[in-house]
Amino acid sequence: MARAENTELIDRFEQFYRNYYRNEIGELAQSYPNEKRSLYINWNDLYQYDADIADDYLAQPQQLQEYAEEALRLYDLPVDVSLGQAHVRLQNLPEHTDIRAIRARHVNTMVSVQGIIRKATGVRPKIQEAAFECQRCGTLTYIPQSGGDFQEPHECQGCERQGPFRINFDQSEFIDSQKLRVQESPEGLRGGETPQSIDVHIEDDITGHVSPGDHVTVTGVLHLEQQGSGQEKSAVFDVYMEGVSVEIEDEEFEDMDITDEDKEQIIELSNEGNIYEQMVDSIAPAIYGYDQEKLAMILQLFSGVTKHLPDGSRIRGDLHMLLIGDPGTGKSQMLSYIQHIAPRSVYTSGKGSSSAGLTAAAVRDDFGDGQQWTLEAGALVLADKGIAAVDELDKMSPEDRSAMHEGLEQQKISVSKAGINATLKSRCSLLGAANPKYGRFDQYESIGEQINLEPALISRFDLIFTVTDKPDPDHDSQLAEHILQTNFAGELNTQRTEINAPNITEEQVNSQTEEVAPAIDAELLRKYIAYAKSNVYPTMTEEAREAIRDFYVDLRSKGTDEDAPIPVTARKLEALVRLAEASARVRLSDTVERKDADRVIEIVRSCLQDIGVD
């Protein structure tokens, strides 16, 4: 761009600041450089002022950022300070780019993405300008360090020899830097897609403010980085982002658009007499039976009410449940179905696919260049405010096992290792599946003894279902019929859609599928749950309270054997309350009634009976 044009643009920015950001710049000048070092600009303001400049800012961000920052330095301040190193940080871009949609054409432009922080390194000083002191003559040679590789001087500026040099730290300039990995939010993914992520490099005042598990909107400029190094350099490049601003989002179900029509439909549905049956029939319809397990999964989706006590402590409203049983009984199928209906969920295996496992970990890997420690969020943190479906829970690592205790009850996970001290939120419900101790239940040993988890962990589950696979002619024939029917419907549908079989109509498929279609459409159910969770906070009626109290006292009088694998503790009482609240929420009811209490007592009783308590 021509020189005249530069000054013109800088003038335009100065005028923009005077019109729109006079107060903000005044405040910045007051607290610069200790508390504030950035001027945040709303893209909409810039667009209103000058649409061309606003568009150019996104298309040629580096150039425009320079003008914007130069204008800030030239700005006439009422107080006598210089905003020499202040940053201009653009926010609130007109649209969000999906992480998985980032392509070569986006490189060198400014975009904003939404997601969850998966990994974050510690905040480390990064050299910006290195002062090399010549060991022969003592002259300082200053080399700016802008790229990724460390640049050394070719020769000393004083004696023109090749050193040797020593870095003079006092005369060098450092800036705080941090690297983040932002991954697509669980709620943005449909049906178990593998989440994609992008790495973000940030500097100075915006470092150190986010933790793994935080939901964020990140705005920044996309750059390329060549894969491999030295002789191994590849023709393929990685895209990373130079972050300009990182905003923490409210973790509620922000993506859920519930229209007035949806709301009407939800309320109408909630008044139907058979709403519980409809809900049950909407969970994994291809899996035959398991009505009680499915009802429990529904209650888990709705969850109880989290209580904040006056003394600052809290009682979780989230329900944890475990399916433990013989192989091939449909556990994995039911677990993975959760992804279709939970507004936010993470599905994983206890064996763990990432180094962070189920909870969180401080790891030293390529992300921190092999030297820095990185804090990485595991499934329970990524599922914050949602459901973590963990298959093969019995195979989790020993580290996860111990971190899990805190994660499930206090709903936070503390990591303290290698100078990283952090507490991550894990306000999620755990839906676990596991096999018994010997792979399948041994009918000669009590079921309670065959659960391969320690008592402290077991006691944190609100419900434990045991599933045995015993031959039973009646049940087996119905199950067979159901599976064959499901397969037949699937075959018809495949023929119709894949090979366009002319003699198969959609009606024909539908009539066959009816039995295996969910009663409530998954999309609507997801909205229903999100609506109930953010609008309905039921309280106990006296009758419900009485029923739960009586049941609990009765249980304790029978099952307080200290050696019992599943002792009945006060946790069970809290579990009953949570379950009953969830039951009321299904009806969108503000009160927990006797029938809610009875419904959940029935479930708890049968679970305990199966394990051998009672």
Binding site for Mg ion (CB under 5 A): 332
Nearer to ligand ADP, 109 or 336 (CB): 336
Residue with tokens 């009984």: 329
Question: 586 and 303 in contact (C-beta within 8 Å)?
Answer: no
Smallest gap from residue 600 Cβ to ligand ADP (A): 23
Nearer to ligand ADP, 153 or 289 (CB): 289
CA distance 381 to 411: 9
If one asks whether residue 328 binds ligand ADP (CB under 6 A), the answer comes out as yes
Residue with tokens 């009680």: 292
If one asks whether residue 315 binds ligand ADP (CB under 6 A), the answer comes out as no
If one asks whether residue 330 binds ligand ADP (CB under 6 A), the answer comes out as yes
Nearer to ligand ADP, 163 or 289 (CB): 289
CA distance 440 to 437: 7
Smallest gap from residue 467 Cβ to ligand ADP (A): 7
Subset of 470-499 contacting ligand ADP (CB under 6 A): 479, 482-483
CA distance 506 to 500: 11
User: x/- binding map, residues 425-464, to ligand ADP, per CB under 6 A?
Assistant: ----------------------------------------
Instruction: Tell me the chain's radius of gyration from C-alpha atoms.
Output: 30
Which of the ranges 12-20, 105-113, 272-280, 322-330 carries the binding residues for ligand ADP, by CB under 6 A? Answer: 322-330
Subset of 515-534 contacting ligand ADP (CB under 6 A): none
Strand partners, 555: none
Best CA proximity match to 186, nearest among 342, 360, 355 = 342
Smallest gap from residue 104 Cβ to Mg ion (A): 40
Question: 41 and 90 in contact (C-beta within 8 Å)?
Answer: yes
Nearer to ligand ADP, 469 or 561 (CB): 469
Local structure of residue 353 (DSSP, 8 states): S
Smallest gap from residue 389 Cβ to ligand ADP (A): 12
Exposure string of 302-314, with b = 16+ CB inside 10 Å and e = fewer, is bbbbeeeeeeeee
Residue with tokens 């005249």: 4
Question: With left for phi above 0 and alpha for psi between -120 and 50, is residue 606 left, alpha or beta?
Answer: alpha
Which of the ranges 199-207, 283-291, 296-304, 360-368 carries the binding residues for ligand ADP, by CB under 6 A? Answer: 283-291
Question: 600 and 577 in contact (C-beta within 8 Å)?
Answer: no
Smallest gap from residue 33 Cβ to Mg ion (A): 57
Binding at 287: pick from ligand ADP, Mg ion, none (beta carbon under 5-8 Å per type):
ligand ADP
**Bridge pairing between strands 420-425 and 412-417:** antiparallel
If one asks whether residue 143 binds ligand ADP (CB under 6 A), the answer comes out as no
Nearer to Mg ion, 216 or 324 (CB): 324
Taking each continuous run of H as one helix and of E as one strand, the counts in the chain are 18, 23
If one asks whether residue 294 binds ligand ADP (CB under 6 A), the answer comes out as no
Q: Which residues bind ligand ADP (CB under 6 A)?
A: 286-289, 327-333, 479, 482-483
